[in-house]
Structure 1
């Protein structure tokens, strides 16, 4: 009996991000490059009038079409599909304004709802500025925590895990946006094990890696040098590796972080777990500064994002590059196709 053919993927839902940043600009550019970059169908949840003003300002020939999710595929060939926000956006490029926060949040909520209902295959979030949202009363530490809150439906929030991805490297910081001096006190064996478990599951389900190999970095220089440079690697990281192995996960380390990220070392693992933010982000941004992707694992929907910020300093100047957003859209579609294939 012939195997069942995969169904066409629903469109990808793009959020507007902070409208004063480069998110709207790179969204226009991504659609403009849709053919040569072989992009899947996507729609932006935004203020269509603000996008129109921006396209005119930048001299971009990007027709816009207000539509619902069922119309995206039909419109995509000739116009950028836009799911119009009720909240009008008056912000100018490079001039962040707390008055735009309601629209930014509404865009995220609608994208998540579309993904959870099956109308969208995945969520791709354009960059936000947390300070702008905080000034408007936003109660969550950041983008990822807000997504976890939306996924909770009033129950316990899932543990969101941040993976930075490019073709050459997948790396996960176990602790993320915390001061460096706080990391040793926050880092626990249980946190590392839960992060590793989520990463291994995602590598199998979303990336097609049958037997994921995880390499764990040490916290201290030289992974502690047998206790001479700190005891956390022996007391916290190594027990986590043993626990992951007991779960059937191929985990190894702790390795000195300064020797983990050259090409020969990367060939030995599918994902690296770093113990703190810069330990993870320095190598990925060195290897893939323009086209790295931020992937949130552990959510009940697919979420990717460009691996850069709002870039207010260059917004509206016509020099922003859409490479990272394009990579995020393509990776989201690739992950969604894997999920769909697993269900057949």
Structure 2
């Protein structure tokens, strides 16, 4: 079994650089130049336009952000969307002379890239990166996907659709639909805490209607399953926020806790899960409670994420639970104004790679 594990542990981490006019390529190059891509004990694969990557490296060297140009091995992908894994891997059969090199999966843009300038004609290339990533993760050619930032508005303006024909709404929805998942869960994590969300990008007025027993139940189950399978925690300790102030104050400030949330949580408690009933968020997010907690489930976006980011903005990782593979992401946007200037921070990408690597290792442990 150890031999199998040793082979599997060598599966690559795949980075999608996302919007080419943004800082996705910058932060990869910065980590590569500092030899930090070697820290994970796995090959690193990157999706980008090879010409744009070389151009960005030259620009960063010109401004002094890179002392030397990182090394990569370029692999050209076929025009069709169906990746033949064996043919693909055969292209990597030649040994790379320098172990600092990463593998660049060349996905060409329609035209040359200009730092900071969005061009919707390049949106098809951004979408192709995600398609390639999904396929390589689905067939277990890579251990995990680590996504760089994309410009959602550019894909929408380019009329890029999700699999169900609806407007492109983000990485999470893309990978969910491509994987055939009914529901996934957004979790953000840093050294201080892990916070998962029952609802994500909803107007506050729409949140109460989305707090249904089914939604809460599925969210909790996905968190439990992935804490076990991807974090190696067989008995995760989970705390759950109520929806209302003071968790409803016994029904005086809202009845969602009594009628919806707590009955679901009690069923998990009865089944032996180490999970709380609905707690007031202002009490839950205190050191005393967080010290004995592996994950928090918040009811809505701005209930949980401001607290988490106040404890580590820039060091936080976005991950998607419920997918059949591991996906982590940086916690920042494209930063168009920083592209090519050498001022971007690669900290979040490093943390996202580190978490993906740890989850991949723990997934192996929990499955054996």
Same fold (TM over 0.5): yes
**Is the Cα contact below 8 Å between 1:11 and 1:119 reproduced in 2?**
yes
Q: Which residue is 2:200 aligned to?
A: 176
Deviations 1:116-147 (A, max 9, x none): 12221111111112111100112232211110
**Is the Cα contact below 8 Å between 2:12 and 2:44 reproduced in 1?**
yes
Q: Which moved more, 1:66-75 or 1:281-290?
A: 66-75
Q: Which residue is 2:172 aligned to?
A: 144
Q: Which moved more, 1:217-226 or 1:240-249?
A: 240-249
Aligned match for 1:201, one of 225, 239, 242: 225
Q: Which residue is 2:103 aligned to?
A: 81
Shift of 1:37: 7.2
Q: Which residue is 1:6 aligned to?
A: 5
Question: How far apart in 1 are the matches of 2:240 and 2:197?
Answer: 10
**Is the Cα contact below 8 Å between 2:188 and 2:319 reproduced in 1?**
yes
The answer on 1:55 being equivalent to 2:57 is yes
Q: 1:99 to 1:230 in 2, by over 3 A?
A: same
**Is the Cα contact below 8 Å between 1:215 and 1:253 reproduced in 2?**
yes
Q: Which residue is 1:309 aligned to?
A: 333
What 5-or-longer segments of structure 1 have no aligned partner? none
Q: Which residue is 2:30 aligned to?
A: 29
Deviations 1:68-97 (A, max 9, x none): 556399547233320111444523222222
Q: What is the CA RMSD across the aligned residues, in angstroms?
A: 2.1
Question: How far apart in 1 are the matches of 2:258 and 2:27?
Answer: 45
DSSP 3-state at the match of 2:174: helix
Question: How many residues were matched structurally?
Answer: 339
Q: Which residue is 2:164 aligned to?
A: none
Q: Which moved more, 1:10-19 or 1:77-86?
A: 77-86
Q: 1:246 to 1:194 in 2, by over 3 A?
A: farther
Question: How far apart in 2 are the matches of 1:97 and 1:36?
Answer: 29
**Is the Cα contact below 8 Å between 2:70 and 2:101 reproduced in 1?**
yes
Question: How far apart in 2 are the matches of 1:261 and 1:123?
Answer: 30
Aligned match for 2:153, one of 110, 131, 143: 131
Question: How far apart in 2 are the matches of 1:234 and 1:199?
Answer: 22
**Is the Cα contact below 8 Å between 1:151 and 1:158 reproduced in 2?**
no
Q: Which residue is 2:83 aligned to?
A: none
What 5-or-longer segments of structure 2 have no aligned partner? 76-87, 162-167
DSSP 3-state at the match of 2:229: helix
Shift of 1:240: 2.0
Alignment of 1:111-130 (within 5 A): 111-130=133-152
